[in-house]
Amino acid sequence: MSRRPRPTSSAVAIELEVPFHDVDGLRVVWHGHYCKYLELGRTALFRARQLDAPDMAALGYLYLVAETHLRHVRPLRYADRVRVTSWFVEIDNRIRVAYELRNVSSAQLCAEGSTVLVTTSDTGELCLATPPAILQRLLAPGPGSAAQE
């Protein structure tokens, strides 16, 4: 990412506290746990659009993560409060979600990244474009916005 995407007005943010079991021997959050934080943010974003896993199953579709990109900027430590902000960057053929992880106390950026999800039918067949039933929910006004950007 040469110029990183900025959160949109329809972004969804969650806050969490770093638990002790996420910290490694150097007393910082082990790098692999950041993907878990992205997953928590992505879940909140999709729930806000009524596209959580049960919603997708009811529509006859599944999401699969095809790519994950993550850049670590500053470490998180035990008991830090972190805000995970998630928003859609691309929705037509695949769904790209961007993320920012910020330390709540300092407002400093700790990590940024993105995931790419592809849609499959519940039988595993890849959808070459995002199905209309899903697009309709993705294009609906999100939380805190008058219209989707």
More confident residue, 2 or 35: 35
* CA–CA gap between residue 123 and residue 49 (Å, rounded): 23
Phi, psi of 75 (to 5 degrees): -75, 150
145 inside domain: no
Give the model's confidence band at 142: pLDDT under 50 very low, under 70 low, under 90 confident, else very high.
low
Q: Reply yes or no on whether the pLDDT at 122 is more than 70.
A: yes
pLDDT of residue 141: 74
Phi, psi of 20 (to 5 degrees): -60, -35
pLDDT (mean) for 60-67: 96
Give the model's confidence band at 110: pLDDT under 50 very low, under 70 low, under 90 confident, else very high.
very high
Strands 12-17 and 61-72: what pairing? Answer: unpaired
4 inside domain: no
CB 134 within 8 A of CB 51: yes
Contacts of 90 (CB under 8 A, 6+ apart): 96, 116
6 inside domain: no
Using one digit for the tens of pLDDT, what is the confidence trace for 23-40?
A: 999 999 999 999 999 999
Q: What percent of the chain has pLDDT over 70?
A: 93
Residue 123 tokens, joined? 């039988």
User: Average model confidence (pLDDT) for the chain?
Assistant: 92
Give the model's confidence band at 78: pLDDT under 50 very low, under 70 low, under 90 confident, else very high.
very high
pLDDT (mean) for 11-16: 97
Q: What is the CATH number of the domain that holds 87?
A: 3.10.129.10
3 inside domain: no
* CA–CA gap between residue 144 and residue 34 (Å, rounded): 26
Q: Reply yes or no on whether the pLDDT at 1 is more than 60.
A: no
**Please, which residues bridge with residue 6 across strands?**
none
79 inside domain: yes
pLDDT of residue 100: 97
- Report how many domains make up the chain: 1
38 inside domain: yes
17 inside domain: yes
120 inside domain: yes
What is the extent of the structural domain holding 33? Answer: 12-139
* CA–CA gap between residue 90 and residue 44 (Å, rounded): 17
Q: Reply yes or no on whether the pLDDT at 5 is more than 90.
A: no
Residue 38 tokens, joined? 């992205």
